[in-house]
Structures are given as C-alpha cells and as structure tokens.
Amino acid sequence: MLSYLNSCFKNFKYISFIFLYLFCFSFSDQTLANEQNKNLENVYKLLQEKNFKDGLKELQILCEDNNIQAQLLFSKILFSGDLTPQDFENSYFWSSSALLGGLKKSEIIIEKLNNYLSEDKIVKIKDNLKVFLEKKALNGDKRAIIQIAKFYEIFLEPADFVNAYTWYSIAVAQGIKTAKTKRDELINELNEKDLLEAQTLSIKLFKQINN
C-alpha cells in the first residue's frame, strides 16, 4: 500500500510539473502578445498623427520581433508606396512571414508581387526568410517554430518533409498542441532513414533552444 501511495505521489509531482511548465510558457506568450499589441496600437496612433518617420521605425521593429499583424501592415505599405518608396522585395518578405504565421490576407499581396518579381528573386527572398525564421525559432519564438515548419512543408518545391517534421516535432515538444496533427501526418511522408534523421535533428535543436 505504501509503495502504491509513493507511486501515486511521484506521478502527481510529474503531472504538476508538466502543468506548471505549460502554464509558464502560456503566460509568457500572452504577456509578449499583449506588449506587441500595445506597441502596434502606438504605431497606428503615430501614423494617424502623420508622424510617419517614427511610426515606420516602430513598425519595422515589430516586424523584426515577428509580429505578424505588423508584418502584414508593413508589407501593404511597402507595396503601395504611399508612406515610403515602393519596395517589392521586402513587401514579399514580410507578407510571406505573415502568411506563414496564419494571416491568409497576405496571399493577396503575394499574388500581386508574383507579377513583378522574377523566380530567381523570389527564391532569394525565401532563402532570407528561412534564415530569419530559423534564427527566431532557435531563440525560442514559438510562432517562428510553426512558421519555419510550414516553410519547409509548403513554401519549398519540392517540400522538405525531413525539416518540416523536425520543426513540427519541436513545436509539439514546446507545448504547441495544434502542431501534433501535422507532425503525425508527416510521419507517413518519411522512410525509416529520413524519420530517424529528423528525430535526431529535432532532439538536437530542442536542446539548443532550451539551454
């Protein structure tokens, strides 16, 4: 009986630790999101007051912090050229990042930009986007972890299922429940050798992120 109670107590401590771990991640994410939303509101205020210099400067900072709402807004501004000279390359970059973050409205800008940018230029932009998102992901940005997983799955031709699985696996381990279905789906796209490679890489990167 004593052995059974000790076992239950150990299980309770383990479960409590998991809940505390997930809560801390959730609370941290919510705090960051609230701060970014507040900063984005300030950007809108600056632009409405026609303080375009400071507004665009803060918007750029938010984009680099991986605020997808800011990225979508900045991509529209860069495409229209109303507040700053047109910049189709950076417009494509930020709209692509926002799209990978879940903002489907970005597709409209990307479709328009496909008429102005060569295939070689788009490949170069995507390479730069991969570097940007992987750096963010390795610094613990949970949104970037999903974005880079989607990048390897849907932004490359052909898709890189090894790296896509790797990042979805990391996402699940980081407490992103929505990534579990995608991770499990991609298992069917990998042979035994590729799956072993992806799991080995995911373990290595997960430790790197959490050290």
Q: What pLDDT is stored for residue 30 in this prediction?
A: 55
User: For the chain, what is the domain count?
Assistant: 2
179 close to 146: Cβ distance less than 8 angstroms: yes
Report if residue 134 sits inside a domain: yes
- Domain endpoint, select from 117, 143, 176: 117
Domain boundary among 117, 152, 169: 117
Q: Render pLDDT for 87-112 as a digit per residue (tens, 0 to 9).
A: 999 999 999 999 999 999 999 999 99
Give the domain extent around 83. 15-117
Same domain (yes/no): 160, 198: yes
The predicted pLDDT at position 17 comes to 37
Residues 64 and 141 in one domain: no
**Would you list the DSSP string of 20-83?**
HHHHHHHHHHHHHHHHHHHHHHHHHHHHHTT-HHHHHHHHHHHHHTT-HHHHHHHHHHHHH-SS
Q: What is the pLDDT of residues 133-192, one digit of tens each?
A: 999 999 999 999 999 999 999 999 899 999 999 999 999 999 999 999 999 999 999 999
**Residue 147 and residue 100 in one domain:** no
Q: How confident is the model at residue 33 (pLDDT cuts 50, 70, 90)?
A: low
